[in-house]
Amino acid sequence: MLAVLSPGQGAQKPGFLMPWLDLPGAGARLRWWSVLAGVDLVRLGTTADADEIKDTARTQPLLVAAALLAAEQLSGGSRTAHRPAGLHDVAVVAGHSVGELAAAALAGALTPESAIALAAVRGREMAAACASQASGMAAVLGGDREEVLAAIDSHGLYAANHNGTGQIVAAGASEQLEKFAAAPPPKSRATVLKVAGAFHTPYMAAAEQALATVAAGITPAEPNRILLSNLDGSTVSHGRELLQRLVRQVTAPVRWDLCMQALVDLGVTGVLELPPAGTLAGLVKREFKNRTGPEVVALRTPDDLPAARDLMARHGMVPNRPVATSGRSQSTGRSHEPATQFRVVVSASAGTFEPAAGLAEGDPITAGQLIGYVTTRHGPVDVAAHDDGALTEWLAHHDDPVAPGQPLARISGSAL
């Protein structure tokens, strides 16, 4: 099973889009998206210096555009309104912070144009919020997790990013950050980051409100692949819920640790990070340092496209040709048949899952049909399919403990 990841702010480097401009159609796409973003994405990705591209108002649309541009180039640059090309066999998508907007487009929930426009608004409004108060962020490496979180709270700060084992980012008022960094928790070190403000904290409340106003005018589609949320690592199955989460994420912590745990729970075997790649690939590798993890490819330049396509060929999932092994479906190989659209049914409650008796992978499903139930402390909660299709794969099994938002089953739909 293959996951594609989109990086967030801080991953950009001067000139990182330069080699991509040599590919057919790439310059035209960036010029069109520049109109939507209100910034010159071509110049920002090629000749702008480090100081200019760390400006939040410029960085955020630039990062979303870079990820979507590379996604289109994975199969020669063609695309459709709600589906960048080259991703037919991708089962899971996720993005870190603003990268969630690119992931939403890769999942078909937003058009690339909507994702770019929202990133531009998000970036401008977050930059304005940063300018209104002296705030910032500090990376904390090492230490006991609970002790680190307690120390962050005791200084009046917020844990803004949970990036995985041994890495938490604190955020808040600049004066408190300096004090915290000067005396970090035991066995940890803290470094104040060169960022404009306290992202993913209440300091961004004005930006959240502004983004909500714009997002209200967008009609999202339903995600057509597993889309993981930064809010809690759960799968987002409905477009309107996705927009609400994207807006809420401006002031809510980034739980990238839970997103990586979801990759484990889903059985992901291959991870591809889109440009400007490296940061998320590094976090995944670090998380799996002492255990077997997924194969990881960082797509930095067009020279990495062959490796990316090879990863997709070997780990890509073809939902209409599953072979059951160890309770999970794996592809029998690349198919020339049309890719099958699927929906993921998730749990609404914490408890233990029980599939419906007699229902097996491959069986036809109708909208509203009960596929199982979750036993909770207050009794059973029915789990029903939202669409017609076929039960492609169980993602939870008899008596498996499940959490709210956890994927339970994948149901295939019409061909794309």
Averaged pLDDT score across all residues of the chain: 86
Q: Is the pLDDT of residue 293 over 60?
A: yes
Active site residues: 97, 200
Out of 2-16, 48-62, 317-331, 332-346, which region has the weakest mean confidence (pLDDT)?
317-331
What is the mean predicted confidence (pLDDT) over 196-215?
Answer: 95
Pick from 292, 330, 268: nearest CA to 94: 268
Query: What does the pLDDT look like over 262-286, one tens digit per residue?
Result: 998 888 999 999 999 999 999 999 8
Out of 9-13, 33-37, 75-79, pick the least confident: 75-79
pLDDT of residue 378: 73
The 10s digit of each residue's pLDDT in 35-64 is 999 999 999 999 999 999 999 999 999 999
Q: Do the beta carbons of residue 74 and residue 305 sit within 8 Å?
A: yes
Mean pLDDT, residues 323-347 = 43
Comparing C-alpha atoms, which of 61, 65, 78 is closest to residue 21? 65
* pLDDT at 385 (0 to 100): 84
**Does the pLDDT of residue 148 top 80, yes or no?**
yes
Instruction: Judge whether 2-128+202-315 and 133-192 match in fold.
Output: no
| Under 8 Å between Cβ of 174 and 203 | no
Q: Please, which residues have CB within 8 angstroms of residue 216's CB and are 6 or more apart in sequence?
A: none
Q: Determine the pLDDT at residue 76.
A: 58
**Contact status, residue 184 vs residue 151, Cβ threshold 8 Å:** yes
pLDDT in tens, 118-141: 999 999 999 999 998 899 999 999
pLDDT interval class at 86 (50, 70, 90) = low
Task: Give the helix ranges, DSSP H, for 94-248.
Answer: 99-106, 112-132, 145-154, 174-182, 205-215, 239-248
88 pLDDT higher than 60: yes
Average pLDDT over residues 333-342: 41
- Indicate the CATH number for domain 322-415: 2.40.50.100
Q: CA-to-CA distance for 385 and 371, rounded, in angstroms?
A: 7
How many angstroms separate the CA atoms of 409 and 393, rounded? 6
Summarize the confidence of residues 58-73 as an average pLDDT. Answer: 96
- The sheet carrying 135-142 orders its strands as 188-192, 135-142, 167-173, 158-164, 254-255
Average pLDDT value for residue range 146-175: 93
pLDDT at 1 over 60: yes
Average pLDDT over residues 238-251: 93
**The predicted structure's pLDDT at residue 257:** 93
CA distances from 49 to 54, 59, 126, 192, 412 (A): 9, 12, 21, 22, 46
Domain borders along the chain are 2-128+202-315, 133-192, 322-415
82 pLDDT higher than 90? no
Total-model pTM:
0.76
What is the average pLDDT across 227-251? 92
Q: Is it the case that residue 74 has pLDDT exceeding 90?
A: no
Residues 6+ apart with CB under 8 A from 387: 343, 365, 367, 411, 413
Half-sphere exposure of 373 (CA within 13 A, CB side): 9
Helices (H), 133-171: 145-154
CATH fourth-level superfamily of 2-128+202-315: Malonyl-Coenzyme A Acyl Carrier Protein, domain 2 (3.40.366.10)
Fold of 133-192: Alpha-Beta Plaits (3.30.70)
